[in-house]
Chains A and B, each alone.
Chain A
Amino acid sequence: DTGVSQDPRHKITKRGQNVTFRCDPISEHNRLYWYRQTLGQGPEFLTYFQNEAQLEKSRLLSDRFSAERPKGSFSTLEIQRTEQGDSAMYLCASSLDGGGKETQYFGPGTRLLVL
Chain B
Amino acid sequence: EPEVTQTPSHQVTQMGQEVILRCVPISNHLYFYWYRQILGQKVEFLVSFYNNEISEKSEIFDDQFSVERPDGSNFTLKIRSTKLEDSAMYFCASSEFKGGAYEQYFGPGTRLTVT
A and B: interacting chains: no
Q: Contact residues of B with A, CB < 8 Å?
A: none
